[in-house]
Amino acid sequence: MRARFLSFIAWSLMSLWSRTLRIRFVDRKIPQGLASKGMNCIYAFWHGRQFLLFFTHRDSNIVIPASESRDGEIQAGIISRFGFGVVRGSSKRKGAQAYLGLMKALRDGKSIALAVDGPRGPIYEVKQGITSLAGKLGKPIVPLVMGAKRSWVLEKIWDKYMLPKPFTECVIMYGEPILVNGTGVEELENKRKELTVALNALMARADAFFGSSGSSKR
């Protein structure tokens, strides 16, 4: 009951907060083009840049993992209220269960979304799991980044979480799909590095989108 109550409060606040924002999309034609061809994909984003993504991609047949922890129970409640599918497990707890759940979702024609430097970093460094999934199932990885004209950045937590200030302008940017050819060790590592570079470049573009940053630190 506690998790349900807290997830409802968080979902309500996130929804109201997000509705105050003026949101632009850049290169949205990339995922739309894949969908028009009947292709599902794997969205990849940084852990600290996810706040607005739940709202902008709500009710879109995407599956997201949530950990088996108490915090994960709250997270699962939030993302399910936004209309996402949920698989439970993380790299630290029941990781194999989450991995199999994500594989099933992809095989069933659904897209999935992953914070690729989570759950605890290192920040802005892609973990290996996403390239393994993409290589096994032949699914494209689509980099995804959020930026804001004015924001608070929570500097004291590991992921430098970004909170757009109410009523500011925001941007959602998509990168070119990355294809992983098989599951060879060298291929997985090369694509992991490629995705890291792509996400960091996309983040730099998003941060520069509105000119000089209005971010403040906490």
Does some domain include residue 87? yes
Strand partners, 66: 88
CA distance 28 to 112: 16
Q: Which residues neighbour 208 within 8 Å (Cβ) at sequence distance 6 or greater?
A: none
Does some domain include residue 15? no
CATH number of the domain enclosing 114: 3.40.1010.10
List the domain range (segments joined by +) for residue 37.
2-9+22-217
CB 26 within 8 A of CB 173: yes
Does some domain include residue 164? yes
pTM listed for this prediction: 0.93
Does some domain include residue 208? yes
Does some domain include residue 16? no
Task: Identify the CA nearest to 31 among candidates 148, 111, 96, 102.
Answer: 111
Does some domain include residue 17? no
Does some domain include residue 129? yes
Does some domain include residue 14? no
Q: Where would I find the beta strands (DSSP E) of 12-158?
A: 22-26, 42-45, 62-66, 85-88, 111-115, 141-148, 150-154
In order along its 218 residues, the chain shows pLDDT tens digits of 788 899 999 999 999 999 999 999 999 999 999 999 999 999 999 999 999 999 999 999 899 998 877 788 999 999 999 999 999 876 555 568 888 999 999 999 999 999 999 788 899 999 989 999 999 999 999 999 999 999 999 999 999 999 999 999 999 999 999 999 999 999 999 999 999 999 999 999 999 999 855 566 55
Domain count, the chain: 1
